Structures are given as C-alpha cells and as structure tokens.
C-alpha cells in the first residue's frame, strides 16, 4: 500500500519536527523575540526552540502573547 501526502502535508510535518536554536554567547532578548516569532507560522509551529535558560521566561511570555489557535481551532500548546 502506498501512502500519498500533499506537499503541504509533508511541509507541515517537516516544520513540526524542526527545532529553532539560538545558543550564541551574544544572544539578546530581541533575538529571542525573533526566534519565537519564527517558530510560529501560518502553516504550523516548530517542535521547539532551544535557548539559554536565562531566556526561558521571556520566551514563554512571548509565546503566550502570540498564542492562538491551529488550523483546526485548537489552542496551541505551551511546552
């Protein structure tokens, strides 16, 4: 049996498996805001962002502010 998926489905799956990372020594709060924004797209969100512990609270707040619903109307999770 051959399973077929559209390019959109394949892209959404690939996106959901990606981690966005900023572990640079000179990471800034502005960079974290951009990373959080990039993690959410109209086509879904990434699996995770990888950041220094000092930025976790900021990222969580940013995600909460940006939090919305997925294409099926479900609330996006906070992880």
Average pLDDT by stretches of 10, the chain with 79 residues: 78 92 97 94 89 95 68 55
For residue 3, is it within any domain? no
For residue 66, is it within any domain? yes
- Which structural domain, as residue segments, surrounds residue 34? 19-79
Tokens of 41: 């797209």
For residue 60, is it within any domain? yes
For residue 14, is it within any domain? no
For residue 70, is it within any domain? yes
For residue 50, is it within any domain? yes
Q: Look at the chain and report how many structural domains it folds into.
A: 1
For residue 28, is it within any domain? yes
Cβ atoms of 17 and 39 within 8 Å: the answer is no
d(CA 20, CA 51): 9
What pTM was estimated for this model as a whole? 0.72
Tokens of 27: 């990471």
| Of 52, 40, 44, residue with least CA distance to 10 | 44
What is the distance of C-alpha 57 from the center of its chain?
A: 15
């Amino acid at each position: 049996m051959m399973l077929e998926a559209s390019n959109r489905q394949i892209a959404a799956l690939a996106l959901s498996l990606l981690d966005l990372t900023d572990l640079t020594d000179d990471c800034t709060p502005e960079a974290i805001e951009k990373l959080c924004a990039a993690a959410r797209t109209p086509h879904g969100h990434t699996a995770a962002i990888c950041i220094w512990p000092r930025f976790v609270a900021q990222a969580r707040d940013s995600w909460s502010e940006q939090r919305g619903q997925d294409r099926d109307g479900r609330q996006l999770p906070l992880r």
